[in-house]
Amino acid sequence: MKLLAGFEDCSEYRGCMLSIGNFDGVHRGHQQMFASLVRHARQLHIPAVVLTFDPHPIEILRPGEVPPRLTTRERKTELIEQCGVDVLITYPTDLRLLNLSPQDFFDAVVLGELDARGLVEGPNFFFGRNRAGDVKVLQQLCEHANRLLDVVPPVFVGTQMVSSSAVRALIAEGDVAQANDLLGHRYSVQGLVVQGAVRGRTLGFPTANITHVATVLPRDGVYAGIAHHQGESRAAAINLGPNPTFGERRRKLEVHLLDFSGDLYDQTLEVEFVTRLRDTRPFPDVDALKAQLIDDIRCTREVIGTL
């Protein structure tokens, strides 16, 4: 997949099929859109192009209302590439673009910069100043310009409509298993391993303390997951929250990699959340805590072993 920053080098991709949006999480709804985008592009023998924005427009217009991100820019790129898209254009968002009317945005970007043969969008697509343009407006603009528009219907998992906000809500509740169902892939976070209290090592359960996480973290609790480091993957017992047994109130992300020994300090670790095992809670003594940790690891092995 070709990566472009803005429109400066996009001339060879004019006449493409195009999808525009933020695509945070690259969930099943986005994946359905990209499948349609790629199908149309292949039928017409033209590139499948995705246009997204960084920073998110809300960060410029309403910085106090920015929702927590589900994906870093790098993770989003990786997931979009897996969908078969040919070109990802990340536009550095500015007020000039955000102040364009729907008609001016369509003329300047869809026709002027990319001369798109058609667009693929979801039913909740909005564009132009104050989000004044919706799919009905887009349909009218496409018909007038003789461009194809495919509005992909929403995707449901059971009775739950898939959306980035629904995924965020599930993660905030700690229901990572259901969030993963909506995403169509396991939710993951990435951060830097730093020196901790080394208490886990003294208990016989060394943990990697992860900081500088740029995406939303689940509700406090103990989770079964998978840690990825330098091309290797291992089952991991994840503790998120304070450590009340030792009177610690600071929220921490601690990951115990099963069957691993080595130094991870100052290295990047990616952790996938598979399912929530239990709440965090204080224990009467160290022996009771150790017994619970042994059970957490047993449960983690069972969960990851069934994947």
In the structure, what pLDDT confidence band is assigned to residue 35 with cuts at 50, 70 and 90?
A: very high
The sign of the torsion formed by the CA atoms of 56, 57, 62, 67 equals negative
With respect to residue 173, please indicate whether it lies within any of the assigned structural domains.
no
Q: Which CATH number belongs to the domain containing residue 202 in this structure? A: 2.40.30.30
With respect to residue 291, please indicate whether it lies within any of the assigned structural domains.
yes
With respect to residue 170, please indicate whether it lies within any of the assigned structural domains.
no
State yes or no: pLDDT of 202 exceeds 70: no
- Answer with the residue of higher pLDDT: 284 or 257: 257
State residue 55's pLDDT score.
86
In the structure, what pLDDT confidence band is assigned to residue 49 with cuts at 50, 70 and 90?
A: very high
Tokens 């690891």 appear where?
297
Please compute the mean of the pLDDT values over residues 114-127 and round it to a whole number. 96
| Domain match, 143 and 214 both | no
Q: Are the beta carbons of 194 and 211 closer than 8 angstroms? A: yes
With respect to residue 178, please indicate whether it lies within any of the assigned structural domains.
no
With respect to residue 179, please indicate whether it lies within any of the assigned structural domains.
no
| Domain match, 46 and 149 both | yes
With respect to residue 59, please indicate whether it lies within any of the assigned structural domains.
yes
| Domain match, 110 and 234 both | no
Please compute the mean of the pLDDT values over residues 113-136 and round it to a whole number. 96
In the structure, what pLDDT confidence band is assigned to residue 190 with cuts at 50, 70 and 90?
A: very high
Q: Are the beta carbons of 71 and 82 closer than 8 angstroms? A: no
| Domain match, 23 and 129 both | yes
pLDDT tens sequence across 229-256 = 888 999 999 999 988 766 677 889 999 9
Q: Which CATH number belongs to the domain containing residue 65 in this structure? A: 3.40.50.620
Distance between CA atoms of 167 and 59, rounded to whole angstroms?
20
pLDDT tens sequence across 58-102 = 888 888 788 889 999 999 999 999 999 999 999 998 889 999 999
Please compute the mean of the pLDDT values over residues 149-177 and round it to a whole number. 97
**Of 154, 173, 203, at which residue does a domain stop?**
154
| Domain match, 35 and 115 both | yes
With respect to residue 168, please indicate whether it lies within any of the assigned structural domains.
no
Predicted TM-score (pTM) above 0.75 = yes
State yes or no: pLDDT of 200 exceeds 60: no
Burial class (CB in 10 A: 0-12, 13-18, 19+), 45: exposed
State residue 34's pLDDT score.
98
State residue 230's pLDDT score.
86
Distance between CA atoms of 13 and 88, rounded to whole angstroms?
11
State residue 127's pLDDT score.
95
| Percent of the chain with pLDDT strictly greater than 70 | 96
Domain that holds residue 113: 2-154
| Domain match, 126 and 209 both | no
| Domain match, 64 and 22 both | yes
